[in-house]
Amino acid sequence: MKVAIVGAGVAGLTAAYHLSGLGHQVIVYEASGYTGGLASGFRDTGWEWSLERFYHHWFTSDNAIIGLICELGLADKLFFERPVTSIWYKGRVYPFDSYLRAMLFPHLSILDKLRAAPVAVYLRFLRDWPRLERYTAHEWLTRWMGRRGYQILWEPLLVGKFGEYYQEVNMAWFWARIHKRSPRLGYFVGGFQAFLDALTERVRVQGSEIRLHAPVDRIESETSSIAPGRVVSRLTVYSKGEAETYDRVIVTLSPGLLARLVLELPEQYLSGLRALRSLGAVVLILALRQRLTDGHYWINLPKGEGFPFLALVEHTNFIDRVHYGGDHLVYCGDYLKPDHEYFSLSHDEMLARFLPSLKRFNPKFTPEWVRNSWLFREKYAQPVPGVNHSYNIPDLATPIKGLFWASMSQVYPWDRGTNYAVEMGREVARRALEV
């Protein structure tokens, strides 16, 4: 078959890898000048390794992407470390990445801890997640952990991640975060972009064509009868003024972009796409001349503490700064509604918003520490899963025969990430072959 894949993120590349490996002709369309999507990286002068535009790591339970890395013969490039993950509470940073550290946290009473610990263990080992999606995380955790334990430990995470939607997020999504996460975090020698480059090269070696700087304008379908009782559907992809026809098309973009590209989709299906809510991501990356925190990799920041962002991630407290020319690399990141002002403020305006708060992590910090900085924004980065969300997720096969859609909106109950993008890419490739 001749297959078009729209989007060269991890899901699109994985689908291309599997389909081309089976001998199908695959053409990948990518609007940007690089592959990898949200997992892609960049490299500054003097850096040996690339750095992700949006912070990334893997867990030891991420079997799909670990399996793909091994398939590609790159297992020796994958490694795991145990950096310190922490929370900010009342002006201080507390390591919070093990049951022992959680039990030593001084701002919960013995009763609070006795209620919280069994809940964490229960969620860690629970398999039957669908029954949890009937409840919001807000109500379920308040009931079983107690109001104080929930308000100190988990409510700030939900508020920071989902903003005004935080009380609507269902408990199955929260379960997935506890169930799959590991204290040891994985990374790839050379950065995620090194892995993506290797996957991209394998896809090309298998015969696929990857067209960069090739945005798709629209997709149209046509059904024709070639014999009595035999109907063939063909799909035409329009890009940069040229049209090309395919047997299958796989779109790996946001629901909004799918709706704009395929005008023939039925109204009921379009209504379902429009109902899928999501938040965007804004990340300011700083290359500092000095270390900012005392060994903390990830610090979750409650919105109520007055920080202008959700999380501070000091990447070089996880990966040695020797790979980045000695720079200390810090992410300041947030999830926000796509109409938030952070998506329109200039780079300098964002620096003015974010830099003053860094003195709270290190009183010695001054703007002169900043050697360089980069600002990245993406309006489709974090789906919002409401109660009984599984009933709202569109199937990978759209109502148009031969047209498939695979996106982070469909990886539920798991959180978006490269591991689930690999799973999605494999599954949509399999489904495309069944039609």
Q: Is residue 163 part of a domain?
A: yes
Helix ranges (H only) for 146-207 are: 147-153, 155-162, 171-180, 192-205
Whether residues 171 and 198 fall in one domain: no
Q: What pLDDT does residue 99 have? A: 74
Residues 271, 403, single domain; the answer is yes
pLDDT for position 157:
87
What H or E segment, with its residue span, contains residue 71? helix 63-71
Contact 284, 331 (CB under 8 A): yes
Instruction: Report the run of H or E that residue 273 belongs to, with start and end.
Output: helix 267-274
Residues 165 and 208 in one domain: no
Exposure of 260 in the CB half-sphere (CA atoms within 13 A): 8
Last residue of a domain, one of 160, 180, 200: 180
How many structural domains is the chain composed of? 2
Name the stretches of the chain with pLDDT < 70: 224-232
Domain match, 201 and 266 both: yes
Q: What's the pLDDT at 96?
A: 86
The domain boundary residue, chosen from 161, 180, 199: 180
Token look-up 């490996």 returns: 21
Under 8 Å between Cβ of 389 and 319 = no
- The DSSP-derived string for 277-299 is -EEEEEEEEEEESS--SSSEEEE
Summary count for the chain: helices (H), strands (E)? 13, 20
Amino acid at 140: W
Q: Which of 180, 214, 242 is the last residue of a domain?
A: 180
pLDDT of residue 223: 73
Q: How far is CA 232 from CA 3, 120, 228, 267, in A?
A: 15, 52, 11, 24
CATH number at residue 399: 3.50.50.60
Q: Is residue 258 part of a domain?
A: yes
The three-state secondary structure class of 308 is coil
Which residue carries 């929370």 as its tokens?
A: 87
In this structure, the answer to whether residues 149 and 222 fall within a common structural domain is: no
Whether residue 257 is found in the same domain as residue 210: yes
Per-residue model confidence as pLDDT tens digits over 16-49: 999 999 999 999 999 999 999 999 999 999 999 9
Preceding omega of 118 cis (within 30 degrees of 0): no
Q: Which residues pair with 242 in a beta bridge?
A: 239
Range of the structural domain that residue 127 is part of: 98-180
Q: What is the separation of C-alpha 386 from the centre of its chain, rounded to a whole number of angstroms?
A: 18
Are residue 106 and residue 39 in the same domain, yes or no? no
pLDDT digits over 90-141, tens only? Answer: 999 999 887 778 778 888 888 888 888 899 899 999 999 999 999 999 999 9
Position 113 scores a pLDDT of 86
151 & 226 share domain: no
**Residue in this structure with the two tokens 């409510």, named with its chain if needed:** 155
- What does the chain come to in residues? 435
| Pair (174, 199) in one structural domain | no
Q: Nearest Cα to 315, choosing from 36, 55, 49? A: 55
**Other beta carbons less than 10 A from residue 435's beta carbon:** 13
Q: Which amino acid is at 298?
A: W
